[in-house]
Amino acid sequence: MTEKLEFKKLREFGEIINDTFLFIKQNFKPLLKVFVYFCGFFIIAGTVTAVMQQMEVKQVAFGNAGGGNPFGVSRVTQLFTINYLLVFVFSMASYTSIYVAVLSYIALYMQKGKVAPTPDEVWAYFKYYFFRVFFSSIGITFFFVFCFLLCLVPGIYVFPAMSLFFPVMVLENKGFTDSFSRSFQLLKEQWWVTAGAILIIYVITYASMSLASMPAILLTMVSVFTKGANGLSNTVIILSSVIQHLCYVFLIVPVIGCTLCYFNLAERQESAGLMDRINQLGEKKDDFKGLEEY
């Protein structure tokens, strides 16, 4: 039987990626259950609002085909409706729920001695961190976009640190400012390895999402090219939105990968996991002595 994954340990580049998928394999059912419980509502709501918003876009873009300027001010303003705002809100909420649910699961998994937590146990963590992570993600998004606008290089530099931000916030129970500074502190002398591992994990994730979404993309393209404006039926819009939102499940991968990167960096600086294992050996030794006295 494969030994349960230990988070608090040093890992090389390849081990981070391999252990990401090993943890998912070992915890697939309970992790998926937590995902459905805590992320399902936001994903369903996001799907519904996305369908409504795309139908509005279709009506504005193709409703009066051949008449008026499709890029005119009146046409463009019609696109920015309440549904457009709801799509953004539920997208942020979906990303937040995935991060909080998975990180809460990991925190409890470690506390319980590598035992999968129940959704009821995860709920206590989830309700505590959800809004903290949600509002923090807005600030992090603006900071990230601003850095990318500064000739791209600053955005690339802060990318690994921002990937560590939420694991630090949840697993160390820190506020926004402390999590921000702690993320950069952990990266000292380990930027290249961490950035490479996180980049590979995200490439794998979005390649998987693109592959899973390919039927919806092909269906949309075929419908538009064969039948023109009338080809993009409501059925195609609904199917495309459902498939794209179901692919959010793949976002579990980078959350776990970034968490392993966080523990790898923390272990290199503080050796907390090593000290825990030494203490456990001492406890086992004491227990053995007790059996000898008997």
Tell me: the pLDDT tens digits for 147-204? 888 877 888 889 999 999 999 999 999 999 999 999 999 998 889 999 999 999 999 9
| % of the chain exceeding 70 in pLDDT | 82
What whole-number distance in Å separates Cα of residue 163 and Cα of residue 155? 12
pTM above 0.75, yes or no: yes
Per-residue pLDDT for 241 more than 50? yes
Res 260 pLDDT > 80: yes
| pLDDT exceeds cutoff 60 at 229 | no
What pLDDT score does 256 carry? 96
For residues 272 and 68, which has the higher predicted lDDT (pLDDT)? 272
pLDDT above 90: residue 278: no
pLDDT for residue 294 is more than 60:
no
pLDDT digits (tens, 9 = 90+) for 115-156: 999 999 999 999 999 999 999 999 999 998 888 888 778 888
18 CA to centre of own chain: 18
Task: Kindly state whether residue 289 falls inside one of the protein's structural domains.
Answer: no
Instruction: Please give the pLDDT value at position 269.
Output: 86
What average pLDDT score do residues 24-46 get? 95
Tell me: pLDDT of 62 over 50.
yes
- Number of domains, the chain: 1
User: 226 is in which domain, residue-wise?
Assistant: 13-284
Residue 200 neighbours by CB under 8 Å, 6+ apart: 17
Q: Does 294 fall in a domain?
A: no
Closest to 160 in 3D by CA, of 184, 135, 127: 184
Alpha helices in 27-81 (DSSP H): 28-62, 73-79
Please list, residue by residue across 61-99, b when 16 or more beta carbons sit within 10 angstroms of its beta carbon and e when fewer do: bbeeeeeeeeeeeeeeeeeeeebeebbeebbbbbbbbbb
- Which pLDDT value is given to residue 288? 40
Q: Looking at residue 76, what is its pLDDT?
A: 55
Residue 6 lies in a domain: no
Asked whether the predicted pLDDT for residue 292 surpasses 50, the reply is: no
Residue 293 maps to a domain: no
**In which band, very low, low, confident or very high, does the pLDDT at 218 lie, cut at 50, 70 and 90?**
confident
What is the arithmetic mean of pLDDT over 207-214?
90
Residue 1 lies in a domain: no
Q: Is 200 exposed, middle or buried (0-12, 13-18, 19+ CB in 10 A)?
A: middle
Cβ(273)–Cβ(235) under 8 Å? no
Q: Which of 48-52, 64-68, 96-100 has the lowest mean pLDDT?
A: 64-68
Q: Work out the mean pLDDT of the chain and round it to a whole number.
A: 84
Who wins on pLDDT, 275 or 226?
226
Whole-number pLDDT of residue 151: 73
Cα–Cα separations (whole angstroms), residue 250 to 24, 156, 171, 210, 235 = 11, 23, 21, 10, 24
- Asked if the structure places residue 7 within a domain, the reply is no
Residue 151 falls inside a structural domain: yes
Is residue 26 assigned to a domain?
A: yes
